[in-house]
Amino acid sequence: MMVFGPVRRRLAAAVATAAVAAALTGCSSPATPEPSGSTAVGGTITVFAAASLTDVFEDIAEDFEAAHPGARLEFNFAGSSALATQINEGAPADVFASASPATMKTVADAGNTDGEPVVFVRNQLVIAVEAGNPKGITGLADLTKPGITVALCAEQVPCGAAAKTAIEASGLTITPVSYEENVRAALSKVSLGEVDAALVYRTDAAVGDAVEAVDFPESAKAINDYLIAVLKDAPNKAAAEAFVAWVLSADGTAVLTRYGFQLP
């Protein structure tokens, strides 16, 4: 009895918390009338999005949820190709936002998109270096110098495919110390000081103060199109369509450009 005392009290507290939470959400969602004009957009919208969209989509989500009080966005951010595999294996997602046409194509080819995927932004590679650019890196050629360590994305993920195209266009041979599994992992190797440079998207390099971006002309050869689509088996299709429309609207594009994305 003595042993169970505290546990039971904790349990009681947990139940109470849950009850309060239920009461609160119960009050907020059905009781708040939907703004007239908008059809009932509600429930959870599950969005599978490329890792490079992490910050901008979370920002857009706040605006979207503020405008649609009944709706809640849930994100699964990862490498686009991993997400495509998950979707094709039946993961219950409503929307897929991919960082490359090739990965979106694998989902569309498997018949899992609802309608034609749309290009909604473009992104360009930059050389991410430590803040202040201590090694004085000005272009791709500097990455071939001895003593400069470089991280690239693995070729299997879009940023790696883009990096490969850009490097091939330059005619240089760059040997990285690591092929990172996604763009944020490559970036974090720079911000932690483990490598001197990494090829990442401009928008990724813009996150945080630890790194800065160095433009290089060859990146124009490898501009990445981002596509978005509602999925065929979306559990919450109406809300998913509303979210995609929001991303494509002026509300969405304003946030996207603020994060450094280029509009198509």
Partner 1 sequence: MVTDTSSGTGPSALDSPTSTVDRRRPARRLARRRVPAPLALPAAVALAFLVLPLVGLFVRAPWPTLPQRLTEPEVLAALRLSLVAATLATAVCLVLGVPLAWLLARVDFPGRRLARALVTVPLVLPPVVGGLALLLLLGRRGIIGQWLDKWFDATIPFTTSAVVIAEAFVAMPFLVIAVEGALRGVDDRYEEAAATLGASRWTTFRRVTLPLVAPGIAAGSVLCWARALGEFGATITFAGNFPGRTQTMPLSVYLLLETDPPAAIVLSLVLLAVSVAILVALREKWIGSPA
Give me the residues that bind partner 1 (CB under 8 A), please. Answer: 79, 81-82, 85, 149, 151, 154, 156-157, 176-181, 185, 189, 192-194
Question: Which residues have a Cβ under 8 Å from the Cβ of 17 and sit 6 or more positions away?
Answer: none
CB of 103 to partner 1, least distance (A): 8
Within 13 A of 116's CA, how many CA atoms are on the CB side?
3
Q: Which is nearer to partner 1, 204 or 241 (CB)?
A: 204
CB of 198 to partner 1, least distance (A): 11
Do residues 154 and 164 touch, judged by C-beta distance below 8 A? no
Q: Which is nearer to partner 1, 85 or 133 (CB)?
A: 85
CB of 22 to partner 1, least distance (A): 31
Q: Which is nearer to partner 1, 98 or 236 (CB)?
A: 98
Q: Which is nearer to partner 1, 32 or 156 (CB)?
A: 156
Q: Which is nearer to partner 1, 45 or 50 (CB)?
A: 50
CB of 206 to partner 1, least distance (A): 22
Closest CA to 33 of 73, 66, 63, 69: 69
Q: Which is nearer to partner 1, 82 or 256 (CB)?
A: 82
CB of 52 to partner 1, least distance (A): 15
CB of 154 to partner 1, least distance (A): 5
CB of 99 to partner 1, least distance (A): 12
Question: Which residues have a Cβ under 8 Å from the Cβ of 26 and sit 6 or more positions away?
Answer: none
Q: Which is nearer to partner 1, 188 or 203 (CB)?
A: 188
